[in-house]
Amino acid sequence: MKRSLVRVAILGATGAVGQRFVQLLSGHPWFRITVLAASERSTGKSYAEACNWVLETPMPDEVKEMLVVPAEPGFDADVIFSALPADLAREIEPKFAEAGYPVFSNASAFRYEPDVPLVITEINPDHMKLIEVQRRNRGWKGFIVTNANCSTTHLTLALKPLHDPFGLDPVFVSTMQAVSGAGYPGVPSIDILGNVIPYIGKEEWKLETEPLKILGTLVGDKVENAHFAISAHANRVPVKDGHTEAVSVRLRRKPSLEELKEALREFRGEPQEMGLPSAPTRPVIVREEPDRPQPRFDLMAENGMATVVGRVRECSILDYKFVLLGHNTIRGAAGGSILNAEWAFTKGLL
Protein backbone atom coordinates (compact mmCIF):
# COMPACT_ATOMS: atom_id res chain seq x y z
CA MET A 1 0.00 0.00 0.00
CA LYS A 2 1.33 3.41 -0.91
CA ARG A 3 1.10 5.34 2.33
CA SER A 4 1.64 8.84 1.05
CA LEU A 5 -0.08 11.60 -0.79
CA VAL A 6 -3.67 11.03 0.23
CA ARG A 7 -4.89 14.51 -0.64
CA VAL A 8 -7.22 16.00 1.93
CA ALA A 9 -9.53 19.00 1.97
CA ILE A 10 -10.78 20.71 5.12
CA LEU A 11 -14.22 22.34 5.15
CA GLY A 12 -14.49 25.04 7.80
CA ALA A 13 -10.69 25.25 7.86
CA THR A 14 -10.56 28.62 9.62
CA GLY A 15 -12.64 27.64 12.70
CA ALA A 16 -11.67 26.08 16.04
CA VAL A 17 -11.86 22.51 14.74
CA GLY A 18 -10.60 23.43 11.24
CA GLN A 19 -7.42 24.85 12.76
CA ARG A 20 -6.89 21.63 14.74
CA PHE A 21 -7.19 19.67 11.50
CA VAL A 22 -4.54 21.89 9.93
CA GLN A 23 -2.26 21.48 12.95
CA LEU A 24 -2.69 17.70 13.22
CA LEU A 25 -2.45 17.05 9.48
CA SER A 26 0.70 19.09 9.05
CA GLY A 27 3.46 16.50 8.74
CA HIS A 28 0.98 13.59 8.79
CA PRO A 29 2.66 10.48 7.35
CA TRP A 30 -0.24 9.54 5.03
CA PHE A 31 -2.35 12.68 4.48
CA ARG A 32 -1.44 15.98 2.83
CA ILE A 33 -3.62 19.10 2.88
CA THR A 34 -4.42 20.26 -0.64
CA VAL A 35 -7.59 22.35 -0.11
CA LEU A 36 -8.78 24.72 2.60
CA ALA A 37 -12.40 25.83 2.37
CA ALA A 38 -14.47 28.24 4.43
CA SER A 39 -17.23 30.84 4.11
CA GLU A 40 -17.55 33.79 1.74
CA ARG A 41 -15.89 35.89 4.44
CA SER A 42 -12.64 33.98 3.89
CA THR A 43 -12.68 32.82 0.28
CA GLY A 44 -10.14 34.38 -2.05
CA LYS A 45 -7.86 35.27 0.88
CA SER A 46 -4.68 33.42 1.81
CA TYR A 47 -5.17 31.12 4.81
CA ALA A 48 -2.85 33.35 6.86
CA GLU A 49 -5.03 36.36 6.04
CA ALA A 50 -8.39 34.64 6.51
CA CYS A 51 -7.63 32.73 9.69
CA ASN A 52 -7.23 34.14 13.17
CA TRP A 53 -4.90 31.35 14.29
CA VAL A 54 -5.47 30.62 17.98
CA LEU A 55 -3.47 27.44 18.54
CA GLU A 56 -0.40 27.09 20.71
CA THR A 57 1.94 26.01 17.86
CA PRO A 58 2.65 28.34 14.89
CA MET A 59 0.54 28.12 11.75
CA PRO A 60 2.32 25.57 9.51
CA ASP A 61 4.29 27.28 6.71
CA GLU A 62 2.81 25.08 3.97
CA VAL A 63 -0.74 26.41 4.49
CA LYS A 64 -0.02 30.10 4.96
CA GLU A 65 -0.19 31.05 1.29
CA MET A 66 -2.91 28.57 0.28
CA LEU A 67 -5.99 30.37 -1.04
CA VAL A 68 -9.19 29.64 0.86
CA VAL A 69 -11.91 28.37 -1.50
CA PRO A 70 -15.70 27.92 -1.26
CA ALA A 71 -16.99 24.58 0.07
CA GLU A 72 -18.11 23.18 -3.28
CA PRO A 73 -17.23 19.83 -4.88
CA GLY A 74 -14.55 19.83 -7.58
CA PHE A 75 -11.62 19.70 -5.18
CA ASP A 76 -8.19 18.27 -5.88
CA ALA A 77 -8.66 15.92 -2.92
CA ASP A 78 -9.28 12.25 -2.09
CA VAL A 79 -10.81 12.80 1.36
CA ILE A 80 -12.87 15.56 2.96
CA PHE A 81 -12.66 16.50 6.63
CA SER A 82 -15.64 18.60 7.61
CA ALA A 83 -15.61 21.12 10.46
CA LEU A 84 -18.71 22.95 9.33
CA PRO A 85 -21.52 24.18 11.57
CA ALA A 86 -24.31 21.57 11.61
CA ASP A 87 -26.87 23.48 9.55
CA LEU A 88 -24.36 24.00 6.74
CA ALA A 89 -23.06 20.46 7.01
CA ARG A 90 -26.56 19.17 6.35
CA GLU A 91 -26.63 21.03 3.07
CA ILE A 92 -22.97 20.82 1.95
CA GLU A 93 -21.70 17.37 3.04
CA PRO A 94 -24.17 15.35 0.89
CA LYS A 95 -22.99 17.25 -2.19
CA PHE A 96 -19.48 15.95 -1.59
CA ALA A 97 -20.66 12.42 -0.81
CA GLU A 98 -22.78 12.43 -3.95
CA ALA A 99 -19.80 13.63 -5.98
CA GLY A 100 -17.81 10.61 -4.79
CA TYR A 101 -15.80 11.98 -1.86
CA PRO A 102 -15.43 10.17 1.47
CA VAL A 103 -16.49 12.77 4.07
CA PHE A 104 -15.37 12.52 7.71
CA SER A 105 -17.58 14.94 9.59
CA ASN A 106 -17.45 16.55 13.02
CA ALA A 107 -20.89 18.06 12.64
CA SER A 108 -23.98 16.58 14.28
CA ALA A 109 -26.10 16.88 11.10
CA PHE A 110 -25.96 13.20 10.07
CA ARG A 111 -24.90 11.45 13.31
CA TYR A 112 -28.34 10.09 14.11
CA GLU A 113 -29.29 8.85 10.63
CA PRO A 114 -29.61 5.05 10.74
CA ASP A 115 -27.36 4.57 7.68
CA VAL A 116 -24.57 6.91 8.83
CA PRO A 117 -21.75 5.47 10.94
CA LEU A 118 -21.13 7.32 14.22
CA VAL A 119 -17.71 5.98 15.08
CA ILE A 120 -15.10 6.14 17.82
CA THR A 121 -12.36 4.08 16.22
CA GLU A 122 -11.46 2.02 19.32
CA ILE A 123 -15.09 1.20 20.04
CA ASN A 124 -17.17 0.50 16.94
CA PRO A 125 -15.14 0.45 13.72
CA ASP A 126 -17.44 -2.40 12.60
CA HIS A 127 -20.21 0.23 12.20
CA MET A 128 -18.27 1.47 9.14
CA LYS A 129 -20.14 -1.32 7.33
CA LEU A 130 -23.06 1.12 7.26
CA ILE A 131 -21.17 2.89 4.45
CA GLU A 132 -22.40 0.18 2.05
CA VAL A 133 -25.98 0.61 3.29
CA GLN A 134 -25.69 4.40 2.94
CA ARG A 135 -24.41 4.14 -0.62
CA ARG A 136 -27.21 1.75 -1.51
CA ASN A 137 -29.91 3.91 0.15
CA ARG A 138 -28.73 7.23 -1.22
CA GLY A 139 -27.05 6.30 -4.48
CA TRP A 140 -23.85 8.07 -3.39
CA LYS A 141 -20.44 7.15 -4.75
CA GLY A 142 -18.81 8.66 -1.69
CA PHE A 143 -20.02 8.52 1.89
CA ILE A 144 -20.34 10.35 5.21
CA VAL A 145 -18.81 9.01 8.42
CA THR A 146 -19.33 11.03 11.60
CA ASN A 147 -17.51 11.19 14.88
CA ALA A 148 -19.22 11.94 18.17
CA ASN A 149 -19.82 15.18 19.99
CA CYS A 150 -16.73 16.21 21.99
CA SER A 151 -18.03 15.47 25.49
CA THR A 152 -19.71 12.25 24.28
CA THR A 153 -16.43 10.98 22.82
CA HIS A 154 -14.63 11.04 26.16
CA LEU A 155 -17.61 9.77 28.14
CA THR A 156 -18.05 6.84 25.75
CA LEU A 157 -14.33 5.97 25.75
CA ALA A 158 -14.61 5.57 29.54
CA LEU A 159 -17.93 3.69 29.41
CA LYS A 160 -16.95 1.10 26.78
CA PRO A 161 -14.44 -0.80 28.99
CA LEU A 162 -17.10 -0.96 31.73
CA HIS A 163 -20.14 -1.78 29.64
CA ASP A 164 -18.64 -4.85 27.94
CA PRO A 165 -17.70 -6.88 31.01
CA PHE A 166 -20.03 -5.47 33.67
CA GLY A 167 -23.08 -3.92 31.93
CA LEU A 168 -24.04 -0.30 32.61
CA ASP A 169 -27.42 0.92 33.87
CA PRO A 170 -27.79 3.77 34.61
CA VAL A 171 -25.11 6.42 33.98
CA PHE A 172 -25.14 9.92 35.42
CA VAL A 173 -22.82 12.61 34.04
CA SER A 174 -22.27 16.27 34.79
CA THR A 175 -19.89 18.13 32.49
CA MET A 176 -17.63 21.16 32.90
CA GLN A 177 -16.94 22.11 29.30
CA ALA A 178 -14.28 24.41 27.87
CA VAL A 179 -15.10 27.57 25.93
CA SER A 180 -13.34 26.32 22.76
CA GLY A 181 -16.16 23.77 22.52
CA ALA A 182 -18.33 26.60 21.28
CA GLY A 183 -16.03 27.31 18.32
CA TYR A 184 -14.22 30.55 17.58
CA PRO A 185 -14.81 33.25 18.86
CA GLY A 186 -17.44 31.24 20.74
CA VAL A 187 -18.76 32.31 24.13
CA PRO A 188 -18.19 36.07 24.70
CA SER A 189 -15.55 36.59 27.43
CA ILE A 190 -17.90 38.87 29.37
CA ASP A 191 -20.41 36.01 29.66
CA ILE A 192 -17.98 33.35 30.87
CA LEU A 193 -15.16 35.00 32.88
CA GLY A 194 -15.75 34.35 36.59
CA ASN A 195 -18.87 32.43 35.68
CA VAL A 196 -20.45 29.02 35.00
CA ILE A 197 -23.22 28.72 32.42
CA PRO A 198 -25.48 25.75 33.21
CA TYR A 199 -26.75 25.33 29.67
CA ILE A 200 -25.23 24.25 26.35
CA GLY A 201 -27.80 23.92 23.58
CA LYS A 202 -28.63 20.27 22.71
CA GLU A 203 -25.52 19.01 24.56
CA GLU A 204 -27.41 17.05 27.21
CA TRP A 205 -29.50 15.33 24.58
CA LYS A 206 -26.34 14.41 22.64
CA LEU A 207 -24.71 12.99 25.79
CA GLU A 208 -27.81 10.93 26.52
CA THR A 209 -28.24 9.68 22.95
CA GLU A 210 -24.93 9.25 21.12
CA PRO A 211 -23.27 6.73 23.49
CA LEU A 212 -26.19 4.35 22.93
CA LYS A 213 -25.64 4.27 19.16
CA ILE A 214 -21.84 4.02 19.49
CA LEU A 215 -22.11 1.17 22.04
CA GLY A 216 -24.87 -0.44 19.98
CA THR A 217 -24.57 -3.65 17.98
CA LEU A 218 -24.58 -3.84 14.21
CA VAL A 219 -27.24 -6.36 13.24
CA GLY A 220 -27.63 -6.74 9.47
CA ASP A 221 -28.05 -3.25 8.04
CA LYS A 222 -28.88 -1.57 11.35
CA VAL A 223 -27.37 -0.58 14.65
CA GLU A 224 -29.37 -1.81 17.63
CA ASN A 225 -28.75 0.78 20.33
CA ALA A 226 -27.34 -0.21 23.70
CA HIS A 227 -30.02 -0.21 26.39
CA PHE A 228 -29.27 1.81 29.48
CA ALA A 229 -30.33 5.17 30.85
CA ILE A 230 -28.04 8.20 30.82
CA SER A 231 -28.82 11.43 32.62
CA ALA A 232 -26.62 14.41 31.70
CA HIS A 233 -26.02 17.94 32.95
CA ALA A 234 -23.92 20.14 30.64
CA ASN A 235 -22.14 23.23 31.99
CA ARG A 236 -19.80 25.73 30.34
CA VAL A 237 -16.86 26.78 32.52
CA PRO A 238 -14.07 29.33 32.03
CA VAL A 239 -11.44 26.83 30.80
CA LYS A 240 -9.92 27.32 27.33
CA ASP A 241 -9.58 23.67 26.21
CA GLY A 242 -10.60 20.36 27.76
CA HIS A 243 -13.91 19.01 28.96
CA THR A 244 -14.09 17.60 32.50
CA GLU A 245 -16.95 15.23 33.37
CA ALA A 246 -18.09 13.84 36.74
CA VAL A 247 -19.58 10.39 36.12
CA SER A 248 -21.49 7.90 38.32
CA VAL A 249 -22.37 4.43 37.14
CA ARG A 250 -24.32 1.41 38.29
CA LEU A 251 -23.20 -1.93 36.87
CA ARG A 252 -25.31 -5.02 36.34
CA ARG A 253 -22.44 -7.06 37.77
CA LYS A 254 -20.56 -5.02 40.34
CA PRO A 255 -16.80 -5.56 40.12
CA SER A 256 -14.28 -4.68 42.80
CA LEU A 257 -12.79 -1.21 42.61
CA GLU A 258 -9.49 -2.69 41.41
CA GLU A 259 -11.24 -4.78 38.70
CA LEU A 260 -13.02 -1.66 37.47
CA LYS A 261 -9.79 0.36 37.26
CA GLU A 262 -8.03 -2.55 35.57
CA ALA A 263 -10.77 -2.70 32.90
CA LEU A 264 -10.27 1.00 32.17
CA ARG A 265 -6.46 0.73 32.13
CA GLU A 266 -6.38 -2.34 29.92
CA PHE A 267 -8.78 -1.04 27.29
CA ARG A 268 -7.38 -1.16 23.75
CA GLY A 269 -8.97 -1.21 20.30
CA GLU A 270 -8.17 -1.74 16.64
CA PRO A 271 -6.23 1.56 16.26
CA GLN A 272 -3.71 0.28 18.83
CA GLU A 273 -3.49 -3.18 17.22
CA MET A 274 -3.12 -1.64 13.76
CA GLY A 275 -0.59 0.96 14.94
CA LEU A 276 -2.47 3.83 13.30
CA PRO A 277 -0.40 7.04 13.29
CA SER A 278 -2.81 9.06 15.47
CA ALA A 279 -3.68 6.22 17.86
CA PRO A 280 -2.87 6.82 21.51
CA THR A 281 -0.93 3.95 23.07
CA ARG A 282 -3.45 3.98 25.92
CA PRO A 283 -6.88 5.37 24.98
CA VAL A 284 -7.90 5.55 28.65
CA ILE A 285 -5.44 6.57 31.36
CA VAL A 286 -6.23 6.06 35.04
CA ARG A 287 -4.60 8.44 37.50
CA GLU A 288 -4.34 7.64 41.20
CA GLU A 289 -3.67 11.10 42.64
CA PRO A 290 -6.65 12.47 44.60
CA ASP A 291 -6.69 15.76 42.66
CA ARG A 292 -6.30 14.66 39.03
CA PRO A 293 -7.17 14.90 36.16
CA GLN A 294 -6.91 18.66 35.69
CA PRO A 295 -7.08 20.44 32.31
CA ARG A 296 -3.89 22.37 33.03
CA PHE A 297 -1.80 19.23 33.54
CA ASP A 298 -3.54 16.34 31.82
CA LEU A 299 -5.08 17.77 28.67
CA MET A 300 -2.28 16.72 26.35
CA ALA A 301 -1.93 13.13 27.58
CA GLU A 302 -1.14 10.95 24.53
CA ASN A 303 -1.00 14.12 22.39
CA GLY A 304 -4.57 15.02 23.34
CA MET A 305 -5.91 11.64 22.12
CA ALA A 306 -6.54 9.96 25.49
CA THR A 307 -9.36 10.17 28.01
CA VAL A 308 -7.86 10.69 31.46
CA VAL A 309 -9.84 9.18 34.33
CA GLY A 310 -9.23 9.82 38.01
CA ARG A 311 -10.85 9.79 41.46
CA VAL A 312 -12.32 6.34 40.84
CA ARG A 313 -14.22 5.51 44.01
CA GLU A 314 -17.40 4.03 45.48
CA CYS A 315 -20.62 5.97 44.94
CA SER A 316 -23.14 6.11 47.77
CA ILE A 317 -26.11 6.10 45.35
CA LEU A 318 -24.92 4.14 42.30
CA ASP A 319 -21.90 1.72 42.36
CA TYR A 320 -18.86 3.81 41.39
CA LYS A 321 -18.01 7.36 40.44
CA PHE A 322 -15.05 9.02 38.75
CA VAL A 323 -13.90 12.17 36.97
CA LEU A 324 -12.70 12.22 33.38
CA LEU A 325 -11.00 14.78 31.19
CA GLY A 326 -10.45 14.93 27.46
CA HIS A 327 -9.33 17.34 24.79
CA ASN A 328 -12.39 18.63 22.96
CA THR A 329 -10.87 19.78 19.67
CA ILE A 330 -8.25 16.97 19.42
CA ARG A 331 -9.73 13.61 20.49
CA GLY A 332 -13.20 15.15 20.71
CA ALA A 333 -13.12 16.49 17.14
CA ALA A 334 -10.30 16.71 14.57
CA GLY A 335 -8.08 13.96 16.04
CA GLY A 336 -11.04 11.56 16.32
CA SER A 337 -11.98 12.22 12.71
CA ILE A 338 -8.41 11.70 11.48
CA LEU A 339 -8.20 8.40 13.38
CA ASN A 340 -11.40 7.23 11.65
CA ALA A 341 -9.91 8.21 8.28
CA GLU A 342 -6.65 6.39 9.05
CA TRP A 343 -8.66 3.26 9.86
CA ALA A 344 -10.66 3.63 6.64
CA PHE A 345 -7.50 4.19 4.59
CA THR A 346 -5.87 1.08 6.03
CA LYS A 347 -9.01 -0.92 5.19
CA GLY A 348 -8.96 0.33 1.58
CA LEU A 349 -12.10 2.47 1.92
CA LEU A 350 -10.55 5.71 0.66
Ligand X SMILES: NC(=O)c1ccc[n+]([C@@H]2O[C@H](COP(=O)([O-])OP(=O)(O)OC[C@H]3O[C@@H](n4cnc5c(N)ncnc54)[C@H](OP(=O)(O)O)[C@@H]3O)[C@@H](O)[C@H]2O)c1
- Residues near ligand X (CB under 6 A) are 12-18, 38-39, 41-42, 71, 83-86, 88-89, 106-108, 149-150, 180-181, 183-184, 328-329, 332-333
Active-site residue flag, 150: yes
Instruction: Give the span between the Cα atoms of 335 and 165, in whole angstroms.
Output: 27
Instruction: Give the span between the Cα atoms of 80 and 33, in whole angstroms.
Output: 10
Side by side, which strands form the sheet with 6-11? Answer: 69-70, 31-38, 6-11, 79-82, 102-105, 143-146
**Measured distance between the N- and C-terminal CA atoms of the chain, rounded to whole angstroms:** 12
The CB density around residue 158, as the number of other CB atoms within 10 Å, is 27
* Phi/psi of residue 202, nearest 5 degrees: 65, -5
Handedness of CA 270, 274, 280, 282 (dihedral sign): positive
Instruction: Give the span between the Cα atoms of 170 and 11, in whole angstroms.
Output: 37
Q: Which is nearer to ligand X, 86 or 300 (CB)?
A: 86
Which of 127, 150, 154, 327 is catalytic? The answer is: 150
Q: Which is nearer to ligand X, 248 or 337 (CB)?
A: 337
Q: How far is the CB of 87 from ligand X (least distance, A)?
A: 9
**282-293 burial by CB neighbour count: b if 16+ within 10 A, else e?**
bbbbbbeeeebb
Active-site residue flag, 243: yes
Contact 309, 238 (CB under 8 A): no
Instruction: Give the span between the Cα atoms of 60 and 346, in whole angstroms.
Output: 26
Q: How far is the CB of 304 from ligand X (least distance, A)?
A: 12
Q: Which is nearer to ligand X, 38 or 133 (CB)?
A: 38
Instruction: Give the span between the Cα atoms of 349 and 342, in whole angstroms.
Output: 10
Q: Which residue is nearest to ligand X (CB)?
A: 15
Which of 127, 163, 243, 327 is catalytic? The answer is: 243
Q: How far is the CB of 89 from ligand X (least distance, A)?
A: 6
Q: Which is nearer to ligand X, 12 or 271 (CB)?
A: 12
* Phi/psi of residue 39, nearest 5 degrees: -85, 175
Q: How far is the CB of 272 from ligand X (least distance, A)?
A: 23
Instruction: Give the span between the Cα atoms of 151 and 207, in whole angstroms.
Output: 7
3-state secondary structure of 230: strand
Q: How far is the CB of 95 from ligand X (least distance, A)?
A: 11
Q: How far is the CB of 11 from ligand X (least distance, A)?
A: 6
Q: Which is nearer to ligand X, 15 or 310 (CB)?
A: 15
Q: Which is nearer to ligand X, 13 or 305 (CB)?
A: 13
Give me the active site residues, please: 150, 243
